[in-house]
Homo-oligomer: A and B are copies of this chain.
Amino acid sequence: MKFHHVSGGITAAKGFIAAGIHCGIKKNKKDLSLVFSETPATAAGVYTKNRFQAAPVVVTREHVSNGSARAIICNSGNANACSGQQGISDARRMAEVTAESLNIAVSEVVVSSTGVIGEYLPMDIVEAGIRNIAGQLSPEGGQDAAEAITTTDLVSKETAYKLEIDGKTVTVGGMAKGSGMIHPNMATMLAFVTTDIAITPELLHKALTYTVDRSYNLITVDGDTSTNDMVIVLANGTAGNSIIAEENEDFHRFRTILQRVNTELSQKIVRDGEGATKFLEVTVKHAASFTDGKKLAMGILGSNLVKTAFFGEDANWGRIVSAMGQTDVEFFPERVDVFLGDLQVTRDGQGLRFDEAHAKKVLQEKEISITVDMKMGDEQVTAWGADLSHNYVTINASYRS
């Protein structure tokens, strides 16, 4: 399948305009982002599974549940989480002011927030900001919008691809924020994707959940899940393809390009993990099922002992097998092979005498691939994570104060 990278991020797809401004929640940096589809759009979302759901998550869930939305208003600097009834009212008010300014229905607005937990939004500033940003939307606004949703991210994150579907050029673009979950009160992982494909809400939701399971749900920096996480996709049908209403070849082509965008955005999040010195890619081969493979890969990437070993460039395969063993996945330890890069360190559950110089070479790289072969079935799962460094501790020990 031939698809091409294009510029523009969230505004790469036809009919989407955006802006990002400083409205005053943060001291200096951009803190308000707006994305708008010039025509009605179908929408789908997935949300944090944390039982503490921030107010904007509650409101957005309601609005997207009917399968349509055409604006995304997102502030950074304040998460509007653990903010009670006042928080819910404030999130609703953000949607109302956005709807008024864009002359659309309130239920067409996605509301999102990221930043410190437990404080109320400065609503006078936010309302003025929304009225202001609504006048600044443009097809070139993608990069500003991407910057305005960041908090302690070192870089803003966007990407876009195009592909022929049904004889038409379909574009999928997106932006994301998050430095893994390593930024405590600003831990939120947000991703917004726009596309000009024509697709039913049901299939858009299906494509979204499938690709999220294989992207954002396969990354971990420290295993913590924020109260504000959401991934939203809007599809406005401007590409002119016959609407995708079943799981045909067009659907699979679309899902592939959506997967590419989501995988790329999720990897950008891991790479931006502050304190991270290594980008770890774990591939589990021959797992009995996708779920098993995911649990094993995430088990390895989630172990502090594994993470510190990679920070220390230490070929400690014992920690890798032990991390797999403590998941609830059924497998036969006596079958497991482990490779660091191209170097096999474990065969059939037992350590091999390996060339330490070779291991050192693999471990000194910034990007390290770890492959485990379970010899159980036919599934293969790849997941991504970061090491655990002194700097992680420094950042997180002193965040709030």
Contact = CB atoms under 8 A, between A and B. Distances in A.
Interface string A343-357: 000101111000000
A75 interface: no
A359 B338 CA distance: 47
A53 to B, nearest CB: 8
Contacts of A329: 51
Contacts of A401: 312, 314
B312 A398 contact: yes
A184 B316 contact: yes
Interface residues of A, number: 66
Contact of A333 (B51, B331, B333, B396): B51
Contact of A322 (B52, B305, B333, B346): B52
A399 B321 CA distance: 16
Given A308-B397, A349-B82, A325 B224 contact: no
Contacts of A351: 82, 117-119
Contacts of A333: 51-53, 82
B187 A305 contact: yes
Contact of A390 (B305, B316, B394): B394
B224 A184 contact: no
Contacts of A393: 308, 311, 388-390, 392-393
11 contacts: A82-B350, A84-B349, A116-B318, A117-B351, A222-B304, A304-B388, A305-B396, A311-B397, A314-B397, A390-B390, A393-B393
4 shortest interchain CB distances as A-B pairs: A312-B397, A118-B351, A117-B318, A308-B396
Given A51-B329, A312-B398, A316-B400, 18 more contacts: A52-B349, A82-B349, A119-B351, A184-B316, A184-B318, A184-B319, A185-B316, A224-B304, A225-B326, A227-B325, A309-B396, A311-B393, A312-B396, A312-B401, A314-B400, A314-B401, A388-B393, A392-B393
